[in-house]
Amino acid sequence: MNAAFAAVLAAPALAVGSFLNVVASRVPLRIPIGTSRSRCMSCEHELSPSDNIPILSYVFLRGHCRYCKAEIPWRYPAVEALTAFLVVACALHFGPTPDALVAAGFCVVLVVISAIDLEHRIIPNRIVLPAAAVVLILQTFLHPSPEWAIAAVGAAGFLFAAALAYPKGMGMGDVKLALLLGAMLGRNITVALMVGCLAALIPAVVLAFRHGTRARKIAIPFAPFLAFGAVIALFYGNAILDRYLATF
């Protein structure tokens, strides 16, 4: 697949990112997704189509609601841009194959889960569990092997043990997310967990320097770091794992 065709995917991918913002805003609050048009979360004014153009509306409105002038969260353009970037990256990396579709769908789910966890500190079951089941079925169908199920159970079991050992630092949502990551990544789940844990150390160290022992009481959402590790593993997991194993 050439770069020109991949670039064409950017527009629909941005639209998907815009929809993900609706999901991230409504699902945690248990607001039905398809029952009403988008509204400003501050003044409840219904948004016009020109207010919903991915990224461009945020730029033209200078990050503020047209009606009440409330600040629009940075999450909106960030989700749209990140979704487009990852979908195009999947198209370029995997080519015109079913693997590209599965990978793009996987990345879309990671984006919305990360956005929700950052804002609400939860990972909704209604998103992560169906996604894990669908990905496991698709991966097993496309690449028949027990690897996907074993990796899903193994990753979830590993984080479940961590949650039991340190319940304040690990939630059950992270355990369920590990099911999804293992089902998608197979043996490369080890790369995802390693990269995710190392990435999570950065804010932990910063907080420790700034707040000392009080940093232990500051919750850090883990899903975005797991998602980051999963994306690295999705694109570079085989190379990283092979190089690591070659050192022994």
Alpha-carbon distance 207 to 184, whole Å? 32
Contact (Cβ atoms closer than 8 angstroms) between residue 235 and residue 213: no
Please give the angle made by the CA atoms of 221, 225 and 228, to the nearest 5 degrees: 145
- Reported as a pLDDT band with limits 50, 70 and 90, residue 52 is confident
Tell me the pLDDT tens digit for each residue of 205-230. 777 777 666 656 667 789 999 999 99
**pLDDT at residue 234 above 80?**
yes
Tell me the pLDDT tens digit for each residue of 5-25. 777 888 899 999 999 999 998
Instruction: Give phi and psi for 77, each to the nearest 5.
Output: -70, -30
pTM value surpassing 0.95: no
More reliable by pLDDT, 4 or 31: 31
For the chain, give every domain's residue range. 1-96, 123-248
Contact (Cβ atoms closer than 8 angstroms) between residue 230 and residue 110: yes
Please give the angle made by the CA atoms of 142, 135 and 230, to the nearest 5 degrees: 105
Alpha-carbon distance 184 to 178, whole Å? 10
Number of Cβ within 10 Å of residue 46's Cβ equals: 11
Tell me the pLDDT tens digit for each residue of 71-102. 888 899 999 999 999 999 999 999 889 999 99
Contact (Cβ atoms closer than 8 angstroms) between residue 170 and residue 163: yes
pLDDT of residue 8: 83
pLDDT of residue 215: 56
pLDDT of residue 195: 96
The separation between the first and the last C-alpha atoms of the chain, rounded to the nearest angstrom, is: 36
- Reported as a pLDDT band with limits 50, 70 and 90, residue 244 is confident
Q: Which residue in 222, 100, 206, 218 sits closest to 173, CA to CA?
A: 222
Tell me the pLDDT tens digit for each residue of 185-206. 999 999 999 999 999 888 877 7
Alpha-carbon distance 181 to 230, whole Å? 7
Span 32-47, average pLDDT: 75
